[in-house]
Amino acid sequence: MKRIGLIGCGAIGSLIAKAVDEGKINAKLVYVYDSRREAALKLVEKLRSKPKILKGVEEMLRDRRLSIIVEAASDEAVLEYLKPIIEAGKEVLVMSIGGLLFPQTRKIYEENAGRIHVPAGAIAGLDAIQAISLVGVDRVVLTTRKPPEALAYSNYFKEKGIELDKIREPTLVYEGPVEDALMHFPRSVNVAAALALYSKSGVLVRIIADPTRKDIMHEIDVESKVSNLRIQVENIPHPDNPKTSYLAALSCIQKLREICG
């Protein structure tokens, strides 16, 4: 049974910890760490197993019996911890996929792809896109439709003078490359980042604020000389945490099941 360490005890991290605790994953959660210690305490209180709450990641890195670290914190956490995790000889499951698009982390990913695991997240079809990448992907366009309030966290709209609360019909509010989207919409870029990594190409991101929607829809168009794909996914929120896509949570759990055997 593999031993796991968890960085990040928010929505996704808690769902993964719960899945391990309930025996849905053939592993043992040994350590948890969150920069907000209260989040780690709150999580451990809900678990039957009692993983050790750490003040940093150093003990995880030193533990030779620990084989996998799950990152479920932030893009910044990927920047900070990816290199030390790989240098410590461990595998890592990266949930904050946007964190792999920075030049330094992308290089580490490309050199250690077998040890850095990226789940499909809130979309489907990545296996086909990865296969097409063997001969080259010509174009990838991701169009994401969200209710305006789901975008309100970003300062981008204030800078552009866009008043989200006054949008009454589906409106294109952003279009640009995934690297630019990463800076403006860190909470919305994981799907685009996964597409970039699997396709090994650029991704054009289009965001539509749609007041007629209560959920999130992703439309993916892939062009190549092998095949033209159109993938559409409408995500339902996780019943235990409405801020998290149910499919994204299940994708994380399934990927960890595959890793742990």
Task: Name the residues annotated as catalytic.
Answer: 218
Q: How far apart are the first and last CA of the chain?
A: 9
Helix axes 11-21, 246-260, angle to 10 degrees: 50
In DSSP notation, 30-42 reads: EEEE-SSHHHHHH
DSSP 3-state of 121: coil
Residue showing tokens 């174009």: 139
Q: Which of 133, 132, 149 is nearest to 200 (CA)?
A: 133
- 127-133, Cβ contacts within 8 angstroms, sequence gap of 24 or more: 128/227, 128/229, 129/195, 129/198, 129/199, 129/222, 129/229, 130/198, 130/199, 131/226, 132/199, 132/222, 132/224, 132/226, 132/227, 132/229, 133/198, 133/199, 133/200, 133/201
Q: Give the span between the Cα atoms of 14 and 12, in whole angstroms.
A: 5
* Beta strands per DSSP E along 147-186: 171-177
Q: Are 120 and 197 in contact, with CB atoms under 8 Å apart?
A: no
CA atoms of 209 and 217, how far apart (whole Å): 11
d(C-alpha 132, C-alpha 142), whole Å: 17
